[in-house]
A and B are shown apart, each in its own frame.
Chain A
């Protein structure tokens, strides 16, 4: 696959040098540097080949700005990095939003944080930030916003037509699960267009990463996605380990899998409760919290926290598991297996629930690719893609599990995929418990101050919400030069305006819930 893409891409671009890189070190197979025209050609080439645009990252190297495009594939492991150099005084690049829909959002983000202008982009207005911020936050040197830039960024104003009116869903609305605001243009009860406004919980994680060492940044990822905190913690830790070449003991790898999967179940459970509460069923909420508390008890004993875990360390774990943990996990597995029948009776077979979700928010495969959605939303659309299988970290490569997929891609399928995923998570935990080896849980001689070699890395892990990509640029110091978090909820939210169009307001709530969004993760 890699060879084929290299040859074909080379032919499509004509004369551009395409380098093969060491996948184990870099996280991508091919890289090339393009000019604006070649970038468009490359994007069209990847679109034709069925690739998706995983992320766009901007890095400020002081002498120049660099845009990094990561293209990846659902069916085979083949990642390509395409870079584009920009002049920091007047950064401008062509937009890819006409080719990949997800670029529309990534480019708006880069516009706000770096001031890069994208030629031909339909709507470069504030997405995360607001008028109160005077400089581009992520530029290395202070670059102030010119007045006309501010005016252009603040240009978004809801406009009412003759027969339409606006409804603000959020930023303080129970069904948005946090502080997401969606401006809905309504034609009677039907939605004409939806425009998400983000950034009500923008906590500057990426800026913080540049300001502190790798170790000091450890507590932050779990505060991005507090429901899948373990997966985010795992992503950060494994990315830095990969960058520094630290080997982790087997026992630690196994425990990582157990803890992450327990956390995944607890995340899906909370989603289940909250989603049904959105749809008007409050009873399941009480049931899922009962189960969640059992997981919290087990994890709290070894990690020391109930929610925002910071359990993994570079090279291993903070604390070894004990007999009580293993016994508690086994007891939980047994209890949980008995609960699925109850949930099926209470929820899955409920006529009201089925009628409210069947055929709602249907995502086709092609649309899923264009928007680069991931996780259960992608699998609900029928694409069997799971980072635990595609790019296994920790001990996932030794686990045997299948990937549940949906058939229709509607909200009901998302529900079924998530419930079945809880089952596979239990299988994985059982396997990991069975083969849990003895030995240390911490690698020897991990330096206190980590100074990874120069270079970059795009590392992915599967979180409960989908593909988390971490792009790190190291300049040999103990702090990351740039750390970009490609978060799954952000990509999954992008598709919402298209799904909501033409639907009833009540159905929009059902669609929004089925995407399983965690707002602090989107806002970062």
Chain B
């Protein structure tokens, strides 16, 4: 993906109106629901997506994840996931 298309650090992503994000106890995972379909998110995708509520910038989201999981250097991975999520219309910025 080109740099130009990448999500900017100050953007505040939120789950697109076309999808509904919810935790599924039976599947022990976050899922995205849409007309007659479902995307089952893996654990890290779920952690990112559940924070996409339009209130946090990408930078804030990354900082929160790094704190929650006691780690550093997540920015590139998160940004690349968000680029993919936007291309799939899972999120809007």
On whether the two chains bind one another, the answer is no
Which residues of B pack against A, CB within 8 Å?
A: none
Which residues of A pack against B, CB within 8 Å?
A: none
